[in-house]
């Protein structure tokens, strides 16, 4: 008899009564880990990661009048539910992403299809018209185009990306959505600290991550890109990126660190690393989630965690937020840091 081939992701588990070896699947490992991070039952984890977030759009003020766009979309029978805390942001109640991406108004760049958690990150960054802004890991450009929209193409925006193919989609997206104030660079974000020390008013580091916040367990091979090994290696890259991003900030500037993962090692661990290494890095409260109008969404928001799996994180880390995946927002992490 040939040897049984063992999948990379199956870890031997104790023998069952029949003395046959059983295995932990990759899904078992993911679910146990998430249950421990989110402190809920494994059954609850299955529910949390079996939801798809509602379609959300951001009406783009850089392509046409926003009120006119809303009227055009209503004429096409879209049911739009406004988000109180996000100007020009709507849930689309009766159509999915693939349907609305076929519309002429989408082709014209009049609206962008973007998850609410990702929209929140740019709102927390709070870009201003006279700012010089770095979007360090920017492709495909959801947040870059949002920054350009908020600042009405008046801010100086440098959108950087490491991968050539992704800079092409970034270029297409900035053109489609009229983000003319964006200059695109192809470079490793880790080099920016040396190239541009004390230069930017605001830096967005929407970091490469293990993407747990997007995992949909009912999909096909939902964990194909997920592994503990990947989490570890990403955490080294994220440390270098956050330090480089912080160095590029002017004193008084704001750094927004975000990921679409729920891993403490990629979130609280990275921010703690920065706070410990740079005494002039200060974590700020994220006020928007406490504002009126946000109450409906507050159930999905948790404070950054101070301890996990033998690791202690900076006590201020509770000011950062974790967004628990739901039918309205994808899983996300946001930390707002200033240079004092």
Ligand X SMILES: C[S@@+](CC[C@H](N)C(=O)[O-])C[C@H]1O[C@@H](n2cnc3c(N)ncnc32)[C@H](O)[C@@H]1O
Q: Where along the sequence are the contacts to ligand X (CB under 6 A)?
A: 118, 137-143, 160-163, 166, 188-190, 206, 208
Of 123, 173, 231, 260, which one is the catalytic site residue? 260
Residues contacting residue 74 through CB under 8 Å, at least 6 positions apart:
80
Minimum distance, C-beta of residue 336 to ligand X, in the bound complex (Å): 16
Nearer to ligand X, 191 or 285 (CB): 191
CB 289 within 8 A of CB 301: yes
Minimum distance, C-beta of residue 207 to ligand X, in the bound complex (Å): 6
Minimum distance, C-beta of residue 3 to ligand X, in the bound complex (Å): 38
Token pair in block for residue 260: 């679409």
Nearer to ligand X, 13 or 194 (CB): 194
Minimum distance, C-beta of residue 63 to ligand X, in the bound complex (Å): 18
Minimum distance, C-beta of residue 76 to ligand X, in the bound complex (Å): 26
- Residue 63 carries which DSSP code? S
**Cα gap 43→36, rounded to integer Å:** 12
> Quick one: which of 259, 268, 280, 252 has its CA closest to 311?
268
Nearer to ligand X, 189 or 264 (CB): 189
**Cα gap 112→261, rounded to integer Å:** 22
Enumerate the H helices of the chain as residue ranges: 26-38, 42-48, 66-75, 97-100, 104-107, 116-125, 142-150, 164-176, 192-195, 228-247, 268-277
Nearer to ligand X, 113 or 162 (CB): 162
- Residue 128 carries which DSSP code? -
Nearer to ligand X, 208 or 222 (CB): 208
CB 26 within 8 A of CB 111: no
The yes-or-no answer on residue 260 being catalytic is yes
Residues contacting residue 321 through CB under 8 Å, at least 6 positions apart:
286, 289, 301, 302, 303, 304, 333, 334, 335
**Residues classed as catalytic:** 260
């Amino acid at each position: 008899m040939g040897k049984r081939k063992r999948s990379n992701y199956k870890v031997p588990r104790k023998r069952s009564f029949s003395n046959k070896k059983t295995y932990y699947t990759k899904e078992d490992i993911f679910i146990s880990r998430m249950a421990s991070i989110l402190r809920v039952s494994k059954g609850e984890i299955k529910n949390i990661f079996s939801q798809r977030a509602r379609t959300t759009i951001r009406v783009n003020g850089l392509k046409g009048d926003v009120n006119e766009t809303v009227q055009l979309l209503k004429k096409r029978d879209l049911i739009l539910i406004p988000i109180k805390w996000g100007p020009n942001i709507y849930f689309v109640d009766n159509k999915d992403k693939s349907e609305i991406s076929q519309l002429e108004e989408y082709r014209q760049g009049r609206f962008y299809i973007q998850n609410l958690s990702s929209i929140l990150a740019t709102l927390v960054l709070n870009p201003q018209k006279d700012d010089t802004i770095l979007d360090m890991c920017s492709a495909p450009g959801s947040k870059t185009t949002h920054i350009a929209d908020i600042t009405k193409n008046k801010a100086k925006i440098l959108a950087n990306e490491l991968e050539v193919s992704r800079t092409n989609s970034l270029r297409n997206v900035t053109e489609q959505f009229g983000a003319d104030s964006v200059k695109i660079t192809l470079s490793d974000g880790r080099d920016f600290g040396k190239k541009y020390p004390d230069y930017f008013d605001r830096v967005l580091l929407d970091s490469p991550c293990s993407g747990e916040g997007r995992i949909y367990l009912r999909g096909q091979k939902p964990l194909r890109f997920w592994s503990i090994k990947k989490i570890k290696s990403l955490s080294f890259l994220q440390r270098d990126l956050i330090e480089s991003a912080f160095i590029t900030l002017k004193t008084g500037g704001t750094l927004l660190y975000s990921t679409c993962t729920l891993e403490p090692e990629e979130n609280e661990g990275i921010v703690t690393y920065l706070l410990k290494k740079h005494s002039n890095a200060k974590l700020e409260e994220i006020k928007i989630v406490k504002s009126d109008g946000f109450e409906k969404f507050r159930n999905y928001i948790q404070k950054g965690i101070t301890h996990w799996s033998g690791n202690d994180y900076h006590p201020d880390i509770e000011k950062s937020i974790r967004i628990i995946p739901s039918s309205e927002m994808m899983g996300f992490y946001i930390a707002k840091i200033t240079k004092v």
